[in-house]
Structure 1
């Protein structure tokens, strides 16, 4: 298992190219505008922006939103975070670097996990497992943060969006912990509204962050939902860009 606290190395060989993985293929593309930066595409979908040796870089908006929600709950440091959906481990590496925390990245595709270990050498542990099974196996009250960034095509797999699953998440979190989910949604935000309804059965507070076109214009894009029994803020060191909106859900019912 990789040491979650060791300093990442910078790759010495050429790593751009296409690689077979269990779910299809992964492509690593060098960013022509930034020396040493790469985009990891999984089955032609951009999944991670990685600068090996520079874990403080978060290029994608939705990852900055997730980091802001983690910042907003003011967890004691160090804390323990589980990231469901590892891809290139950009966000787990950032959280480890920013808060000197213990991070576990969970990836279903074993070949992709091996590729990421070999090519990017992230400073976090990568576990090969199915996200739902892994969540149910977490010891009660043993983690502080759970991030869900799992997709099958444009959607989150249904088993990761049920009240039963949220109960497993809630049980796994320590008091004051936070669950943050990345959702792909479009006009009407039906998926986001359904997930909020389920989360509000368990968590006292929920909040949503997304871009203005997604929230108001019906464009498909990322919506980040956070849920906690601690009041949520969105004022971290990596805030949303100008023009992006933050909305609060109505007060939740806590069972």
Structure 2
């Protein structure tokens, strides 16, 4: 299997995915099954290429004092771009990144200069198994997991969000990257599901996406305490691309009629998947 870090391009086939790497200067972009999954600046760990990750970074910085080390759980790891940047801005944080593809989890440590354990641990596991079994207490939980370009159903149920809520500290932040399907129906389903466990919800996105004029990422924010929306809005307005913060009232109004999805609707039983966790 190829191991070179400095190739201009590289393709690797794991047992689960086709992974392509493209390097332009110091920017390394990782594609999983043809979809952009991660991009890291090999020379600058503080840099985030993807706009939606910049949105998560802004929300995190608004929620927590600058430089404060955090306990962060990443559901979906890929190249660990966000985890790498968080370590650069908040040294001594403790992070756990969950990547279902064990071979990819091993390869990214060879390709990218990532923080070593215990600052960043990478575990090969289904992210829902992590939610069902983890006993930690996390300041930040980021769900950025996809299968065939879509959010796995078992990560978007009422129970999945309830599990995340139980793992989050009282001052913590839950960030969800919602993309992969045309239209806003997936966003509103998740808004309704989040509302069963979280008191405070908001979204960050391009206004054209919110209005349904084009397809792209929507970042949902959920917390047990009020979200600093004015501060978040002030910072996202400074980004190069148009970006807005959508408040809870508008989201909940738009989500009226969206169907709540439960584990039973998709046939997920945590007890049946206890054996999926690696020893």
Q: Select which of 42, 57, 68 maps to 1:52.
A: 42
CA distance in 2, matches of 1:72, 1:39: 28
Q: CA deviation at 1:185?
A: 5.7
> Is residue 2:79 matched to residue 1:83?
no
Q: Select which of 133, 136, 140 maps to 1:137.
A: 133
What SS does the aligned partner of 1:106 have? strand
> Is residue 2:28 matched to residue 1:38?
yes
Per-residue CA shift, 1:182-210, capped at 9, x if unaligned?
A: 00166651111110111111111101011
Q: CA deviation at 1:133?
A: 0.5
Q: Select which of 182, 201, 207 maps to 1:206.
A: 201
Greater strand share, 1 or 2? 1
Residues 151 and 180 in structure 2, CA contact (< 8 A), matched pair in contact too: no
What SS does the aligned partner of 2:60 have? helix
Shifted more, 113-122 versus 66-75: the winner is 66-75
What SS does the aligned partner of 1:113 have? helix
Residues 183 and 212 in structure 2, CA contact (< 8 A), matched pair in contact too: no
Partner of 2:56: 66
CA distance in 2, matches of 1:14, 1:185: 29
CA distance in 2, matches of 1:186, 1:219: 11
> Is residue 2:86 matched to residue 1:95?
yes
What SS does the aligned partner of 1:221 have? coil
Greater helix share, 1 or 2? 2
**Count of aligned positions:** 238
Tell me: CA distance 1:12–1:155, structure 2 relative to 1, closer, same or farther (3 Å).
closer
Residues 5 and 111 in structure 2, CA contact (< 8 A), matched pair in contact too: no
Per-residue CA shift, 1:46-80, capped at 9, x if unaligned?
A: 11111224210101000001111111212692220
Per-residue CA shift, 1:112-132, capped at 9, x if unaligned?
A: 111111111311321111100
Partner of 1:225: 220
Tell me: CA distance 1:215–1:22, structure 2 relative to 1, closer, same or farther (3 Å).
same
Q: CA deviation at 1:89?
A: 0.7
Per-residue CA shift, 1:186-237, capped at 9, x if unaligned?
A: 6651111110111111111101011122111332211100100121135369
Which segments of 5 or more consecutive residues in structure 1 lack a partner in the other structure? 1-10
What SS does the aligned partner of 2:164 have? helix
> Is residue 2:117 matched to residue 1:122?
no
Residues 73 and 233 in structure 1, CA contact (< 8 A), matched pair in contact too: yes
Partner of 1:110: 102
What SS does the aligned partner of 2:52 have? helix
Shifted more, 128-137 versus 233-242: the winner is 233-242
Residues 22 and 112 in structure 1, CA contact (< 8 A), matched pair in contact too: no
Residues 33 and 148 in structure 2, CA contact (< 8 A), matched pair in contact too: no
Tell me: CA distance 1:214–1:172, structure 2 relative to 1, closer, same or farther (3 Å).
same
Tell me: CA distance 1:117–1:213, structure 2 relative to 1, closer, same or farther (3 Å).
same
Partner of 1:241: 240
Please provide the CA RMSD for this pair. Answer: 2.2
- Which TM-score applies when normalising by structure 2? 0.79
